[in-house]
Amino acid sequence: MLKVNGISVRYDIVPVLENVSFSVEEGQFVAIVGANSAGKTTILKTISGLVNPFEGSIEFMSQPIQTMPPYEIAAKGIAHIPEGRHIFDKMTVGENLLVGAHTRDDTEEVQETMQEMFNLFPMLKERENQKGETLSGGERQQLAIARGLMAKPRLLMLDEPSLGLSPILSHKVIRTCETIRNKGTTILMVEQKVTEVLKLVDRGYVLQRGQIIMEGKGTELLESDLIRKAYLGM
């Protein structure tokens, strides 16, 4: 589905990603884990067209996308939920969800998708007519994810969805991502919460200083000495 082949990115003259390659197969839940400033966010921005690589290529559904503008990449079926729980504060929860479906013209199916979001995130139904600015951090994150899903993407990319949340809410959000995958949406997530995420994903990649240094099944990575020492303090 998604193939990233040897991409390198610089900000001015500072290298951020160096020869990064990985793939995501349809139906998988894949995670890229690493410390702050490892380059995780830049990977997602590069896939979604917000940052241009100076080397390498990116293919989505066997089509090169690295030179496409962001709106064309989104139209191909890639939804990017950036770090920071960005929603429209002055709009209601329901209005925020409809914004996520702005590229669709199947009105009846849009309403069905909205009901699916309410089933997935019951809190959103309870607050359907509340303004976004009244929501808590965890509620905003759920709305941001649901809004991305309103476009019916083939690939959902999430940037640190648990950042700034309490352990309970963090666990809930990450587990909900597993449910989303089980319903048929492919997921690529970047995260710092290594243990919880690697227990769930089909495949994981470890990013360190802009380079992929390890890859494998999530549970296998958890058993590696590098992960245990660098991220689990063992």
> pLDDT by residue (tens digit) across 174-214?
889 999 999 999 999 999 888 889 999 999 999 999 999 99
Residue 115 maps to a domain? no
d(CA 164, CA 171): 12
Residue 64 maps to a domain? yes
Range of the domain at 189: 2-87+154-230
Tell me the pLDDT tens digit for each residue of 7-45.
999 999 899 999 999 999 999 999 999 888 889 999 999
How is residue 196 written in tokens?
A: 């919880």
Residue 210 maps to a domain? yes
d(CA 232, CA 225): 10
pLDDT of 30 reads 97
d(CA 154, CA 105): 17
Residue 211 maps to a domain? yes
Residue 102 maps to a domain? no
Dihedral sign, CA of 39, 45, 48, 52? Answer: negative
Residue 70 maps to a domain? yes
pLDDT of 231 reads 66
Read off the CATH number of the domain in which 173 is found.
Answer: 3.40.50.300
- Which letter does DSSP use for residue 84 in this model? T
Q: Which whole-number Å values give the CA distances from 20 to 93, 131, 141, 212, in the listed order? A: 37, 40, 28, 6
Residue 125 maps to a domain? no
- Contacts of residue 92, Cβ cutoff 8 Å, sequence gap at least 6: 128, 129, 130, 131, 132
Q: How many domains does the chain have?
A: 1
